[in-house]
Amino acid sequence: MNQKRFVGTSFVGPSFVCASLLVPSLVMGHDPEVMDTVVITGRSDSLINIADTASEGYVGQDHIEYRPLQRPGEVLETVPGLIATQHSGDGKANQYFSRGFNLDHGTDFATSVDGVPVNLPTHAHGQGYSDLNFLIPELVDTVHYRKGVYYADVGDFGSAGSAEISYVKSLPQGLAEASAGSFGYYRGLVADSQKIGEGNLLYAGELMHDDGPWTRPENFRKANGLVSYSREQDGSGYKFSLSAYAAQWNSSDQIAERAVSTLPGGRFGEVDPTDGGTTHRVALSSEWHSETDSGHSQIEIYGVYYDLKLDSNFTYYLNDPIHGDQFEQHDQRGFGGLMAHHTWKYDFLGTESESTVGLQIRGDDITNGINQVQDRNYLSTTRLDDVGQVNVSPYVEQRTKWTDWLRSTFGVRADYYHFDVADQRPQNSGAKGSTMVSPKGTIAFGPWASTELYVGAGMGFHSNDGRGATTTVDPRDPTMPLAAVSPLVRTYGAEIGLRTVAIPHWQSTLTFWWLDIDSELVFNGDAGDTSPNAPSRRIGVEYANYYTPTPWITLDADLSWSQARFRETVVDNGYAGAPIVGKYIPEAVQAVLAAGVSVHDPNPNHGFFSSLRLRYFGPRSLVEDNSIRSGATLMLNAQAGYRFNRTWSLSVDAFNLLDRHDSDIAYYYPSRLPGEPAGGVNDTHFHPVEPISARVTISAHF
pLDDT beyond 90 at 83:
yes
Predicted local distance difference test score (pLDDT) of residue 36 = 46
The residue length of the chain stands at 702
Q: Are 127 and 464 in contact (CB under 8 A)?
A: yes
pLDDT beyond 50 at 524:
yes
Band (pLDDT 50/70/90 cuts) for residue 529 is low
Number of structural domains the chain divides into? 1
Predicted local distance difference test score (pLDDT) of residue 94 = 94
Q: Mark out the alpha helices in 6-81 (DSSP H runs).
A: 24-27, 61-64
3-state secondary structure of 601: coil
Instruction: State which residues form the domain around 79.
Output: 4-330+338-379+387-701
Q: How does pLDDT run across 211-233, given as a tens digit for each residue? A: 999 999 999 999 999 999 999 99
Work out whether strand 37-40 and strand 4-7 pair parallel, antiparallel, or are unpaired.
antiparallel
Q: What angle do CA 104, 110, 115 make, to 5 degrees?
A: 140
Q: Provide the residue type at 333 as one letter.
A: R
Say what the alpha-carbon torsion angle 255, 258, 259, 261 is, to the nearest 10 degrees: 130
Task: Kindly report the average pLDDT of the chain as a whole number.
Answer: 91
Q: How does pLDDT run across 56-79, given as a tens digit for each residue? A: 999 999 889 989 999 999 999 999
Question: What are the residues whose beta carbons fall under 8 Å from the beta carbon of 253, sequence distance 6 or more?
Answer: 87, 88, 89, 270, 271, 272, 275, 312, 313, 314, 687
Residues in a beta bridge with 389 = 364, 419
Query: What are the backbone dihedrals phi and psi of residue 66, each rounded to the nearest 5 degrees, phi first?
Result: -100, 20
Predicted local distance difference test score (pLDDT) of residue 44 = 64
The pLDDT of 502-511, averaged and rounded, is 95
The pLDDT of 36-52, averaged and rounded, is 75
The pLDDT of 370-392, averaged and rounded, is 96
Rounded distance between C-alpha atoms, residue 74 and residue 71, angstroms: 6
Q: How does pLDDT run across 299-357, given as a tens digit for each residue? A: 999 999 999 999 999 999 999 999 999 999 999 999 999 999 999 999 988 889 999 99
**CATH code where residue 449 lies:** 2.40.170.20
Work out whether strand 607-617 and strand 633-643 pair parallel, antiparallel, or are unpaired.
antiparallel
Predicted local distance difference test score (pLDDT) of residue 21 = 33
Rounded distance between C-alpha atoms, residue 591 and residue 538, angstroms: 13
3-state secondary structure of 137: helix
